Structures are given as structure tokens and as C-alpha cells.
Amino acid sequence: MGCHYRKQLGIQIEPGGDVRGVVWSPDGKTLASCSDDLAIQLWDAANGRALRELREHTSPVDGIVWSSDGKRLCSSSWDHTVRLWDAETGKAIRTLAGHKDAVTCIAWSPDLDGQHIASGSNDQTVRIWDPETGRQEYVLEGHTARLVSVAFLDGGRLLPRWAKLVR
């Protein structure tokens, strides 16, 4: 018989729209949520208290990911942008622009120096960014449908997943 552990957090997320994503910080002390209300909310996982709101996107926020050191966040939005945030201050660090449609998924390379961010979009591309400079390093084209997820595997390999076209 397996052992099950369950802890209920006293966090009640009440955005102005659907919650699109919730992710734990690497140290497990903070939760970040993103939603249709154009905002990212940071929550104290110990007491459920809202810590700060990050708001600069002009359309719903579809994805969010922490840097491996927990100092920064990266968000993807229907406003065609990716934004980098300082998690401590809640200030936007930079905006990464280049997609021509909604940015639906985001991943940060898991290595400690966090050398790359991958973003996937309804424009059927994956773009690879340098988070330190904001420079777009690669555009991966040729997908035949919108991207629904991107992930880095061991060794920094990238795994994109796209929606299946239904006719």
C-alpha cells in the first residue's frame, strides 16, 4: 500500500479571468500564477498571502516559468511577447519581441546559468532567447500547427509539442 501525502494550501486565486498556469519557485516558498486578467500574481506558499502583482502584458498571460536560481520569472502572452521579471521587486527587466501571434508556452533551460529561454507560439515557431541580453538566437520554423508546449530535456535538448490539426 502506497503512502500519500497531501497538504492543502490556504491560497485562493481569484483573478479576473481563467488561471492559465501555476508554478512553484525552485525553493518551494513562492507560487506564481498567471491568468486572463493580464497579470502574474506571486503568493507566499506558507501563509497564502499575495506578495505582489506583476502587470505589464496587454493581453492574457498564458505561461510562466522560474529561472533555476529563483531570482527571475519569464512569462508568455497573447500580446505576442515574452517578458522577464525580477521576482524580488516585481519589476519587468525586458520584453522579448519577435513572435507574430500569441506566445502560448515558455521554458527556461534548467542549467544553473539559465542560458536559454524557449518560447512557442501560435505563429508555429519556437524562438530561443538569451535572457541576459534579450537577443533572439534562433527561430525554429516548419511546424504545421500552433505550439502548445516547449520543454528542455537533459543536456539542454529542446522538446516542442504542437497542436494536432483537426479538419
Q: What is the pLDDT of residues 75-120, one digit of tens each?
A: 999 999 999 999 999 999 999 999 999 999 999 988 755 689 999 9
Distance CA 66, CA 141 (A): 26
pTM of the model: 0.84
- The stretch 7-24 carries a mean pLDDT of 68
The size of the chain, in residues, is 167
| Amino acid in the structure at residue 100 | K
Q: Look at residue 70 in the predicted model and tell me its pLDDT.
A: 93
- Ordered DSSP codes for 64-126: EEE-TTSSEEEEEETTSEEEEEETTT--EEEEEE--SS-EEEEEE--STT---EEEEETTS-E
**CA quadruple 93, 38, 53, 111: dihedral sign:** negative
Candidate CATH numbers 2.130.10.10, 3.40.50.12780, 3.40.50.300, 3.40.50.1220; the one for domain 19-157: 2.130.10.10
Report phi then psi at 113, rounded to 5.
-90, 0
| Amino acid in the structure at residue 31 | L
Q: Look at residue 158 in the predicted model and tell me its pLDDT.
A: 66
Among 118, 42, 17, 36, which Cα is nearest to 79's?
Answer: 36
Q: How far is CA 36 from the centre of its chain?
A: 14
Name every residue whose Cβ is closer than 8 Å to that of residue 102 and which is 6 or more positions away in sequence.
Answer: 59, 62, 77, 78, 79, 80, 121, 122
Domain ranges of the chain: 19-157
Q: Look at residue 166 in the predicted model and tell me its pLDDT.
A: 38
pLDDT tens readout for residues 28-76:
999 999 988 899 999 999 988 999 999 999 999 999 999 999 999 999 9
